[in-house]
Amino acid sequence: MKLRNRAHSSSLFLLELIIAIVFFAVAAGVCLQLFTASHVKSNRSEAITKAVSECSSVAELLESSDTELIFESSLSNYYKTGNWADNTFTVYFDKDFKESDETSGSYVLTVNLSEGDNISSASINLSEPESNEPEVYGLNVSHHFREEAN
């Protein structure tokens, strides 16, 4: 009788052990998903913060320029790898937001400049072309340039 009771007791112990292992495996899986989701959100948040900084820098360059030519020159000096084409300035950044070329760029900063009578408007966008949400941050800025005295 004791032998039968001992076998029943060990099978109950094994069942409890298996249930505990399954419980901890499920809990570990949930924790892993939470950590991955928080890592993705952290990376996205960091990208948005850096995008805001870059777009604000371009806006400040526009605001501090006296003429459109000075703005274009300042922007070209600030971003050495950027280029102008048809009133659009484009510069590429790698995943660490360091300037890069088009092939290794993860982010694209585009400045579309539109001209008026002493007023320039710029649409500043930083995007991630390979992402599901391509535009990381956008900013529209207008600036009135001083009129030159003749």
Q: Please tell me the distance from the alpha carbon of residue 65 to that of residue 136, in angstroms, as a whole number.
A: 26
Q: 36: which 2 tokens? A: 């991955």
Number of domains in the chain: 1
Q: Are 127 and 108 in contact, with CB atoms under 8 Å apart?
A: yes
* Single pTM value for the model: 0.74
Per-residue confidence band for 149, with pLDDT thresholds at 50, 70 and 90: low
Asked whether 133 and 55 are in contact (CB, 8 A), the reply is no
The model's pLDDT over 78-110, given as tens digits with 9 standing for 90+, comes to 998 888 888 899 999 998 889 988 888 889 999
The closest alpha carbon to 59, from 49, 71, 47, belongs to: 71
* Tens digit of each residue's pLDDT (9 = 90 or more) over 22-57: 999 999 999 999 999 999 999 889 988 999 999 999
Dihedral, CA of residue 131, residue 133, residue 137 and residue 138, to nearest 10:
110
Q: Is 106 helix (H, G, I), strand (E, B) or coil?
A: coil
Record the tokens describing residue 52, joined without a space. 């805001």
In a domain, 25, yes or no: yes
Average pLDDT over every residue of 62-72:
83
For residue 144, which phi and psi values (nearest 5 degrees)? Answer: -95, 120
Residue 149 lies in a domain: no
- 65 domain-assigned: yes
Q: For residue 150, is it within any domain?
A: no
Cβ neighbours for 134, distance < 8 A, ≥ 6 positions apart? 127, 128
Cα(125)–Cα(112) distance, integer angstroms: 9
Any domain includes 107: yes
> Rg (Cα) of the chain, in Å, rounded?
29
Q: Does a structural domain hold residue 37?
A: yes
In a domain, 123, yes or no: yes
Q: What residue spans of 65-141 are helical by DSSP H?
A: 68-78
Residue 79 resides in a domain: yes
Domain span at residue 39 reads: 2-144
